[in-house]
Chains A and B, each alone.
Chain A
Amino acid sequence: DAKTTQPPSMDCAEGRAANLPCNHSTISGNEYVYWYRQIHSQGPQYIIHGLKNNETNEMASLIITEDRKSSTLILPHATLRDTAVYYCIVRFYNTDKLIFGTGTRLQVFP
């Protein structure tokens, strides 16, 4: 499984865009990029995933570079409730196994 590297922590002002980077330089052609987040005392929650193209849903946008070696999760208007640990994961298309790293702790401040 490809490994991911994320900064351990980031800050963001409420109302501003939060851009969370992830490096996955060893990703293979059949591996998807997934993002989950974990709010304190809860189980992780799915946010978004993608293969090659940029993706957007009601929670966030996922930008994947053309060479697929890195990606960025964008929360367009961060709120205090977005304070959480964000995990970037790569996953082979035909496996059910997800390997989590240590994630990025995002602190949104007023």
Chain B
Amino acid sequence: DVKVTQSSRYLVKRTGEKVFLECVQDMDHENMFWYRQDPGLGLRLIYFSYDVKMKEKGDIPEGYSVSREKKERFSLILESASTNQTSMYLCASSGVLLGAGKGAGELFFGEGSRLTVL
């Protein structure tokens, strides 16, 4: 079974703390993504990475950074957590695009990490 594992399902942090959200995938996928999900706003892309040590900004990168030192691991970092970063964070991975074949470019998601910043 393919698996994307996020380190914590629930976290509570204080304003100003540094927060690490870890994501590991076991499918040897090149691409990894971090989204946040908020009521009424759907999923919004924060950062993604298409290779080790490579990263691209998504639509809402402000206040976040990422690290991809190994292919299987993609970390989301909140340098100084703020209350408006209280959210559900979802990690995903996908393989290299293969065109229109079945499963090509399919995203596999983790269970999510619900972060509360007080």
Query: A residues engaging B (CB < 8 A)?
Result: 32, 36, 41-46, 49-51, 57, 87, 91, 93-94, 96-103
The residue from A44, A93, A97 contacting B99, defined by CB atoms under 8 A apart = A93
Once the chains bind, are B112 and A43 in contact (CB under 8 Å)?
A: yes
> Which chain B residues in 63-118 approach chain A with CB under 8 Å?
90, 92, 94, 97, 99-100, 102-112
Please give, as numbers and ranges, the residues of chain A lying within 8 Å of B45 by CB-CB distance: 97-100
Mostly, the A contact residues are loop
Chain B, residue nearest A47 (CB): B106
Docked pose: A97 CA to B35 CA in angstroms: 11
* B34 contacts A by Cβ under 8 Å: no
Chain A, residue nearest B95 (CB): A96
Once the chains bind, are A45 and B42 in contact (CB under 8 Å)?
A: no
Q: Which 4 pairs of residues, A with B, have the shortest CB-CB distance? A: A43-B109, A100-B43, A102-B42, A46-B106
Which of A36, A46, A50 counts the most chain B CB atoms within 10 A?
A: A46
* B58 contacts A by Cβ under 8 Å: yes
Docked pose: A103 CA to B56 CA in angstroms: 25
Please give, as numbers and ranges, the residues of chain A lying within 8 Å of B41 by CB-CB distance: 102
